[in-house]
Structure 1
Amino acid sequence: MLAPLVKTLNRRRGDHDALRVDDSLLIDQYLPTYDATQRRHTVVDAAPETTYDAMLEADMMDTGPVVRGLSRLRDLPARLERLIRGTEPAQFPDELTIERLGESDEWVLIDERAHEELVFGTVGTFWKPSIEWLEIDPDDFATFDDPGYAKLAVSLSVRPYGEHRTLLTYEARTATTDDESRRQFERYWRVIGPFAGYLMQRALDRIRTDAEDRARDRDTTRPRSATDDAAGTASGDGNAARTPVSVPRRRWPWLLAALSIGGAYHTRVRPWHRRWGTTPREAVGALPGDEFVDEPANQVTHAIEIDAAPDAAWQWLVQIGQNRGGFYSYDFLENLFGADIHTVDRIVPEYQTLEEGDVVRLAPADSPISTPESAPEVVYLETQRAIVLRPPIDGPTWTWAFVLQEPEEEKTRLVARMRSPTSSGLEAAVDYLFWEPAHFVMERRMLRELKRRAEVSESARSAVETDAA
């Protein structure tokens, strides 16, 4: 859902002396100290009462496709987990208003000062792929301190800002209940954080638009008074003076640019990165492991040529795994998600043995991102030629194959293929927009690093053989 994204990490615990707290805010009574906070403001051309009413009734799902997409993306791991377990996926609401948040399973209305401020909150493990929400009574929110959780309090408030104008403020505060939860939350935030301010601002924009529409409707429907007529005469025309209505910006140029970029990506960039480095035959030809995923299948194939014999590449390839030699890619990116990857820079003898049935972990078992899919097994292995990984899941799932081919002596083609059942709807959109580009970036780095290491090993071996001769 949208809500777990609205967390903040602008200030750390221990910086609270620098945070000036407004004693008039209700939120200070329920979460006066916190690990993180973020605030957004906007000025509304409407009275505070009108703005507050619009705030309660504004549909937070009607904030644009980007916000809806981010909301569904954040909830995707939980939906996938339910699908894997065969349970009914949660349905996204058609409408989500502030005044109805208290009816949800996740949120609770904590307190309200009518036509001034409303505070609602939630308790959960926001950093986990499948969030554990904790049902809590509003009276217990302030004192809750069970370890392993984080508390999120959100305040929406209105203040007069001149005549017939309002300062609308959205503040979110997050407090974790122990050191380990804080560390987990901070790692989560490094990934999610860039979107939080955008989501908050879009919510304020939605409320402001609704409030100003209400104010204009009231102006056009209320009877004209003698004061209005006098004001209109004094202004030089027959109509009452009123606040100018802003004209929406022209969106056609932006729309055309977006369509052009989208078309270029779909027809040029995407086909290129889905078969990066491959020959036409490699891109569509059969490889070991294809048989584990029924047709039709979604297939991404990458390849690279290595100036070394297959055995030089194999000794590096066979070491892959979170609890083994790593994945030779961008460790720091993987570790942002808690994968705990540490790529080795040498051949490790104990990692040279791999058999069918062995687990090649993608993340630690106790990681917040750990699922059955993060512990694939070796389902096919041919020494110095192929490794195929597949999660131990009953039903359709993905495979990841690495195949070494020797087109000529002292040359090796390393072909990597990710193959999965075709998806539809939201899952297909997420794959298209996020997973495919990310997989390309990470796997291209992996293949290039395997090439570099294998060629260095081959050069060192050749030098030793030359010296021996």
Structure 2
Amino acid sequence: MKYPSVPGGRTWALRGDSMTLRTPHLPAKAGAAAAAAGLVTAYLAFVRPRLLRAGATAGEADGPYPGDGLIPDGTRSATMAVTIDAPRSRVWPWLVQMGTDRGGWYSWDRLDNFGRTSVRSLRPEWQDIAVGDHLAGTPDGSQWWEVAALEPERFLGLRMSLDLRGRPFDPAGERPRYFTDSLWGFELKDAAGGCTRMVVSEYWSFRPTWFQPVLSILLLEPSHWVMQTRQFANLKRRAESGSA
């Protein structure tokens, strides 16, 4: 037998010779929603900041970075860094020979180099690049990174400009209605003990603007962290080994 409810939605129930106070359970969906909200909050507050600044100091992440005027309306995104126990002159040759049709990207080759193995040696024929050159991003060359900035042994800026169907457009002309336009930068600085500090950062412009943070948080930031940390590890290993 049930009796009238008391504050909080609880009811008294008669069982045998005793009365018990029943408290209703939260709906399962409400509990799942609360747990999901907690996970999202924890990710945004604790995990995401570490992905965006992996290995970088506050000065490297918040200070000026080359190429800030190359992407119109571009915003700076993740900044990551690594110290390589080799001078800039031994790190730079590995950077300039990047490209799907050249030395690869030194990351997870199955994911970003179409299964082609990134080279483990320096190739003289890939050492001369200039502003305006294209470094293929696909085996057929239908997409590419354009050399947008070049300061030997100091900075390499690679730009990719695509509409949302994956078709390249001329960044010097009119942009499509919907597009992605980004700069992937590699800055080399001298560090103590003859080492090199490599700081990688990006500038990015995207339309529609409302979708940019959604795409960035859900997909691009985590995947960039996975790929960039792998590239750091492989570049560090190659440059420090003195492979020729």
The answer (yes or no) to whether the contact 2:81–2:197 under 8 Å persists in 1 is: yes
- Render the CA deviation track for 1:247-303: whole Å, top value 9, x for unaligned: x96112211111111001111111111111111111022222122124561421111
Mapping of 1:309-328 within 5 angstroms? 309-328=87-106
2:64 maps to 286
**1:454 counterpart = 2:232:** no
Among candidates 119, 135, 139, match of residue 344 of structure 1: 119
CA contact (8 A) 2:76 2:201 kept: no
User: TM-score under structure 2 normalisation?
Assistant: 0.76
Shift of the 320–300 alpha-carbon distance from structure 1 to 2, 3 Å rule, reads same
Q: Match for 1:426 among 195, 211, 214? A: 211
Determine if contact 1:322/1:340 at 8 Å carries over to the other structure: no
Aligned-partner SS, 2:134: coil
SS at match of 1:281: helix
Task: Provide, for residues 353-397 of structure 1, a one-character-per-residue CA deviation record: whole Å limited to 9, x for no partner.
Answer: 11111101111236xxx4xxx312111111111111113433472
Matched, 1:362 2:137: yes
The 5-angstrom pairing of residues 32-51 of structure 1 reads none
C-alpha distance in 1, partners of 2:74/2:120? 39
SS at match of 2:150: strand
- What is the Cα deviation at residue 432 of structure 1? 1.3
For 1:378-397, list aligned pairs within 5 A.
Answer: 378-391=147-160, 392-393=170-171, 394=173, 395=175, 397=181
SS, match of residue 231 in structure 2: helix
How much is the aligned-residue C-alpha RMSD, in angstroms?
2.2
- 1:276 corresponds to: 54
Equivalent residue number for residue 184 of structure 2:
400
Aligned to 2:220: 435
Distance 1:286 1:298, change over 3 A: closer
Q: Structure 2 CA distance, aligned partners of 1:291 and 1:409?
A: 33
Q: CA deviation at 1:309?
A: 0.7
- From 21, 28, 38, give the equivalent of 1:250: 28
Partner of 1:377: 146
SS in 1 for 2:136: coil
Residues 61, 79 of structure 2: 8 Å contact kept: yes
Fraction of identical pairs, as percent = 34
Q: Aligned letter for 1:425?
A: W
Give the Å deviation of 1:345.
1.0
> Alignment partner of 1:256: what SS?
helix
C-alpha contact (below 8 Å) 1:403/1:416 kept by paired residues:
yes
Deviation at 1:347, TM superposition (A): 1.1
List structure 1 segments (4+ residues) > 6 angstroms apart after TM superposition: none
Q: Report the Cα distance in structure 1 between the residues aligned to 2:217 and 2:117, rounded to whole angstroms.
A: 28
Secondary structure of 1:332's match? helix
Quote the residue 2:194 is aligned against.
Answer: 410
CA contact (8 A) 1:327 1:341 kept: no
- Inter-partner Cα distance in structure 1 for 2:147 and 2:135: 7
Give the distance between the partners of 1:416 and 1:274, measured in 2 at CA: 11
Q: TM-score, normalised by structure 1?
A: 0.41
Query: For the Cα contact (< 8 Å) 1:341–1:363, is it kept in 2?
Result: no
SS at match of 1:286: coil
Secondary structure at 2:191's aligned position in 1? coil
Contact 2:149 2:157 in 1 (8 A): yes
Q: Which amino acid aligns with 1:412?
A: T
2:108 match: 330
Q: Do the aligned residues in 2 keep the contact of 1:326 with 1:342 (CA within 8 Å)?
A: yes
Native 8 Å contact 1:309 1:409 kept in 2: no
Q: Which residue of 2 aligns with 1:57?
A: none
State which structure, 1 or 2, has the greater radius of gyration over its C-alpha atoms: 1
- Residue 259, structure 1, aligned to residue 40, structure 2: no
Q: Equivalences for 1:155-234 in 2 at 5 Å?
A: none
Equivalent pairs counted in the alignment come to 203
Gaps of 5+ in 1: 1-247, 462-469
In 1, Cα distance between the equivalents of 2:33 and 2:42? 14
Secondary structure of 1:357's match? coil
Paired with 2:92 and 2:60, the residues of 1 have a C-alpha distance of 19
Query: Contact 2:74/2:182 (CA < 8 Å) preserved in 1?
Result: no
Q: Per-residue deviation at 1:452?
A: 1.2
